[in-house]
Amino acid sequence: MTKQTKILDEVTIRFAGDSGDGMQLTGSQFTNTTALLGNDLSTLPDYPAEIRAPAGTVYGVSGFQIHFGSKEISTPGDTCDVLVAMNPAALKVNLRSLRNGGIIVANKDGFNDKNLKLAGYDKSPLDDGSLERFQVHAVDITKLTTLAIQDLGLSTKHIERSKNIFALGIMYWMYSRPMESTINWIKEKFQKTPEIVEANIRVLKAGYAFGETTEIFLARYEVEPADLQPGRYRSITGNEAVAWGLLAASVKSGLDLFLGSYPITPASEILHELSHHKNFRVKTFQAEDEIAGIASAIGASYGGAIGVTTTSGPGLALKTEAMGLAVMLELPLVIVDVQRGGPSTGLPTKTEQADLFQAVHGRNSEAPIPVLAACTPAGCFDMAYEAVRIATKYMTPVILLTDGYIANGAEPWVIPKVESLPNIPVHFRTEATDFQPYSRDEKTLARPWAIPGTPGLEHRIGGLEKEHITGNISYDPENHEFMVKLRQEKVDRIADDIPIAQVDGDENGDLLVVGWGGTYGAIRTAVESKRKKGKSVSHLHLKYVNPFQKNVGEILKNFKQILVPELNLGQLAQLLQAKYLVPVIQLNKVQGLPFRAVEIENKIDEILK
């Protein structure tokens, strides 16, 4: 029979199973194929916090969500249209993210008594009518996988391991995706074991054929290519993008990159990634603690490298005193904080935006540090690069805020041309005549970078207050006040050296939604959707939080009302109100989860009713 094909402009699929079921791999294969077809997309993995949670339990469920479409895609999707559930626990954990009327493809063999009990079901939800509001397809995936390859003489374990590929085959059929990319990947990945190559290809094709020939699926779908900017693309996660942005800045500035870091979720991948690129002469120092991470980076910067330290909220707290030292020393330094749920240990694997105050204000005394915020996974590349540019040009520590959501999320990225990256000119002082360690560039107020090993420039620096120009220790009251103001002025002047803020939508109107960091996708989706419905709403997203861009105050004045959605209790809202004396409406969420676009849409409706 011929099946009906429907055209969709966007789809969200969630693959969910036990940690050992290969869901991340299934998701990334579907992602690669979808990218090659020219869809726009956004993905988010969802790992269990436990390393090896018991099989079949709800703690052990691993998920991968992909949102793709023929239109612009800015988030991994609020709710999913399809849930692939390999066992009862996967169904239980993920059901609440499936929309009403959505499709469930369940591995029927996985719903045995043992797994049902582990997931806390008395009877199988596939049979008890509790899933009535969804389209449920219970497929004997394990059995069908076994049938496809039982003649190859593989162990039961190997056969079981291929069942995710069967599910992938079904999804390829359902969304009209070609299998070539995955077949090529299988051939390459398992080239040393031809029987595994054969098995996986057979299972993939069996899954595809199952969709085509059986009558349980009444419809299949097509999603046409999106209107994307031409160019060469790749998929990139936020943590990868931070690492590569730092490497790119190292190459373009000619400075060696030094990373002093202590492992912490969800920032560790930056350390992992950089430790794999030693041929760029990057030195990764896995320190004994967070403090040694930043202290070693300061030492390296003093020596003429670009010192970087990467961490998450609790680690940033530990680095506080050393950040103050870097302010006093006026050395370049990049501090990356991949924010997670807090306070204290909090929710290590969940996202939040509640370190903004800590970044902007969290030091003893007056210790201004520029604060940047990346908005999307790929945007982390640009902001890491920008952090190095500002740090070296202004001789200052710079904090880059990202969060667990964009750090782990991935999106297609137009690969930049290396020659198109802005230059990062760096100058080490070598001239001994008239050298003063705290003399300043007239425009940037940066002091000279005079590194050890330079003849004639021997000098002393430290955390004690400096005398203007000479850098000698000074307890003079007027000098102290002068230096406090000078350090502030230096950071304030950065506002003259960054692009002005751009509004998405009209330059004035009834409502401006102001966000920062990882909420970009959700706010953009929400505002676009409301604009299409004729609402007078625009979007301003801040990548520079300290100092703010010069025109932010002007922009705020052009709107009747201002809404600030944040994954905290209103930290940007407070900074904006304090600086610009404008009333703002807050929308706050602190559940360890990103915003869903609909939550922002509802708030916009409430304001503009």
Partner 1 sequence: MIKHVDKYAAKNFQTDQDVRWCPGCGDYSILAQVQRVLPELNIPKHNFVFISGIGCSSRFPYYMDTYGFHGIHGRAAAIASGLKVARPDLSIWVATGDGDGMSIGGNHFIHICRRNIDVKILLFNNQIYGLTKGQYSPTSEFGKITKSSPQGVPDHPFNPLLLALGAEASFVARGLDREPKLLQQIIRRAAEHKGTAFLEVYQNCNVFNDGAFVKFTEKETKDDNVVILEHSKPMVFGKEKDKGIKLEGFTPVVVSLKDGKHSVNDLIVHNEKDTMLSFILARMSNFPELPRPVGVVYAVERPRYEDVVTQQINDSIQKQGEGDLEKLLNHGETWKIG
- How many residues touch partner 1 (CB under 8 A)? 65
* 570 torsion bin: left (phi>0), alpha (psi -120 to 50), beta (else): left
Closer of 147 and 432 to partner 1 (Cβ): 432
Q: Does 304 bind partner 1 (CB under 8 A)?
A: yes
Closer of 195 and 458 to partner 1 (Cβ): 458
Site residues (CB under 8 A) for partner 1, limited to 464-483: 464, 472-473
Q: Does 256 bind partner 1 (CB under 8 A)?
A: yes
**Stretch binding partner 1 (CB under 8 A), from 6-14, 136-144, 168-176, 291-299:** 291-299
Name residue 26's amino acid.
T
Please name the residues in contact with 87: beta carbons below 8 A apart, sequence gap of 6 or more.
17, 18, 21, 56, 107, 110, 111, 115, 119
DSSP 480-539: HHHHHHHHHHHHHGGGGGSPPP-EES-SSEEEEEEEEGGGHHHHHHHHHHHHHTT--EEE
Q: Does 38 bind partner 1 (CB under 8 A)?
A: yes
Closer of 324 and 368 to partner 1 (Cβ): 324
The distance of closest approach from Cβ of residue 542 to partner 1 in the complex, given in angstroms and rounded to an integer, is 27
The distance of closest approach from Cβ of residue 35 to partner 1 in the complex, given in angstroms and rounded to an integer, is 6
Name residue 423's amino acid.
N
- Spatial separation of the C-alpha atoms in residues 475 and 484, rounded to whole Å: 13
Q: Does 364 bind partner 1 (CB under 8 A)?
A: no
Site residues (CB under 8 A) for partner 1, limited to 137-156: none
Please name the residues in contact with 424: beta carbons below 8 A apart, sequence gap of 6 or more.
249, 252, 253, 388, 389, 392, 393
The distance of closest approach from Cβ of residue 66 to partner 1 in the complex, given in angstroms and rounded to an integer, is 15
Q: Does 281 bind partner 1 (CB under 8 A)?
A: yes
The distance of closest approach from Cβ of residue 275 to partner 1 in the complex, given in angstroms and rounded to an integer, is 9
For residue 158, give the DSSP letter.
H
**Binding map of partner 1 across residues 377-416, x = CB under 8 A, - = no contact:** --------------------------------------xx
- Spatial separation of the C-alpha atoms in residues 119 and 111, rounded to whole Å: 10
User: For the chain, how far is it from start to end, CA to CA, in angstroms?
Assistant: 49
- Spatial separation of the C-alpha atoms in residues 395 and 500, rounded to whole Å: 22
The distance of closest approach from Cβ of residue 365 to partner 1 in the complex, given in angstroms and rounded to an integer, is 13
Of 20, 263, 299, 553, the one binding partner 1 by CB under 8 A: 299
DSSP 397-459: EEEEEEEHHHHH-EEEEEPPPGGGSPP----B----TT--TB---TTT-PPPB--TT-TT---
Question: How many Cβ atoms sit within 10 Å of the Cβ of residue 559?
Answer: 23
**Binding map of partner 1 across residues 310-339, x = CB under 8 A, - = no contact:** -----------xx--x--------------
- Strand pairing partners for 514? 540
- Spatial separation of the C-alpha atoms in residues 404 and 384, rounded to whole Å: 16
Q: Does 233 bind partner 1 (CB under 8 A)?
A: yes
Question: What six digits make up the tokens of 209?
Answer: 């054929």
The distance of closest approach from Cβ of residue 203 to partner 1 in the complex, given in angstroms and rounded to an integer, is 22
Q: Does 343 bind partner 1 (CB under 8 A)?
A: no
Of 16, 154, 300, 564, the one binding partner 1 by CB under 8 A: 300
Question: How many Cβ atoms sit within 10 Å of the Cβ of residue 6?
Answer: 10
Closer of 233 and 580 to partner 1 (Cβ): 233
Closer of 325 and 545 to partner 1 (Cβ): 325
**Stretch binding partner 1 (CB under 8 A), from 33-41, 394-402, 508-516, 585-593:** 33-41
Q: Which helix (H) or strand (E) holds 329?
A: helix 320-329
Contact residues for partner 1, defined by CB under 8 A? 32, 35-36, 38, 225, 228-235, 244, 247-248, 251, 256, 258, 260, 277-281, 283, 285, 287-289, 291-292, 295-300, 302-305, 307, 321-322, 325, 415-416, 418, 451-464, 472-473
